[in-house]
């Protein structure tokens, strides 16, 4: 008879002794691991820099984080300042423009844009006393294939416009 009872109960589902409660220990372990990995990879510099698809950023082992400043993105054919296109060597418009002055050392469209930004910061500082002073910092996002001579012209242009401190944004090789 006990054998018949075991055969009858074989198809029935067994009721869990936990009264239907879920065991969330493993879920909490996963969430803790996810939280720790997100905190470890968090960029706490506070400044967001968009990188155009035309720029391939070099890699570095440097651990220093970026500081706030004007973002200057430079590819082999284009220059952006704070996500605004300043110079496009591939367009027909740039052929007729004067691109360089001071003996080919200064990029005119970049210089004009940087002076405009510097002047805007000065006006804001006069109007709002709590505003930050002009830092003179430029965050350079430079394509890894850009020639050194072109980079020197960009840096000279930034310095002549008053941006004399440079930060190069690179990808970390963590």
Supply the pLDDT for residue 37.
Answer: 82
Cα 47 from Cα 2, distance rounded (Å) = 74
Q: Which two tokens stand for residue 117?
A: 């930004």
Locate tokens 């050194």: which residue?
Answer: 148
Supply the pLDDT for residue 52.
Answer: 74
Q: Report residue 61 CA to chain centroid gap.
A: 17
Supply the pLDDT for residue 95.
Answer: 64
Supply the pLDDT for residue 12.
Answer: 57
Please tell me the pTM assigned to this model. Answer: 0.64
DSSP letter string, the chain: -HHHHHHHHTSSPPPPTTTT----HHHHHHHHHHHHHHHHT---S-------TT--PPEE---PPP-SSEEEEE-SSEEEETTEEEEETTSSHHHHS--EETTTTEEHHHHHHHHHHHHHHHHHHHH-TTSPPP--EEEEEE-TT--HHHHHHHHHHHHHTT--EEEE--EE--
Q: pLDDT under 70 in the chain at which residues?
A: 1-20, 42-50, 57, 60-66, 92-96, 172-174
Supply the pLDDT for residue 49.
Answer: 65
Supply the pLDDT for residue 60.
Answer: 62
Q: Is the sign of the CA dihedral 99, 147, 68, 132 positive or negative?
A: negative
pLDDT in tens, 58-83: 776 666 666 778 889 999 899 999 88
**Buried b / exposed e along 30-40 (16+ C-beta atoms within 10 A):** eeeeeeeeeee
């Amino acid at each position: 008879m006990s054998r018949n009872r075991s055969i009858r109960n074989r198809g029935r589902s067994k009721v869990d002794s936990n009264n239907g409660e879920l065991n969330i220990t493993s879920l909490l372990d996963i969430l803790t691991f996810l939280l720790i990995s997100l905190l470890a990879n968090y960029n706490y510099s506070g400044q967001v820099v968009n990188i155009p698809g035309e720029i391939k950023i070099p890699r570095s082992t440097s651990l220093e984080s970026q500081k706030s400043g004007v973002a200057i993105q430079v590819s082999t054919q284009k220059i952006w300042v704070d996500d605004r296109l300043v110079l496009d060597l591939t367009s027909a418009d740039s052929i007729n423009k004067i691109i360089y002055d001071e003996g080919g050392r200064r990029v005119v469209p970049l210089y004009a844009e940087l002076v405009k930004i510097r002047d805007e910061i000065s006006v804001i500082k006069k109007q709002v006393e709590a505003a930050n002073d002009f830092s003179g910092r430029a965050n350079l996002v430079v394509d890894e294939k850009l020639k050194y001579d072109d980079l020197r012209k960009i840096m000279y242009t930034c310095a002549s416009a008053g941006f004399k401190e440079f930060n190069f944004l690179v990808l970390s090789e963590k």
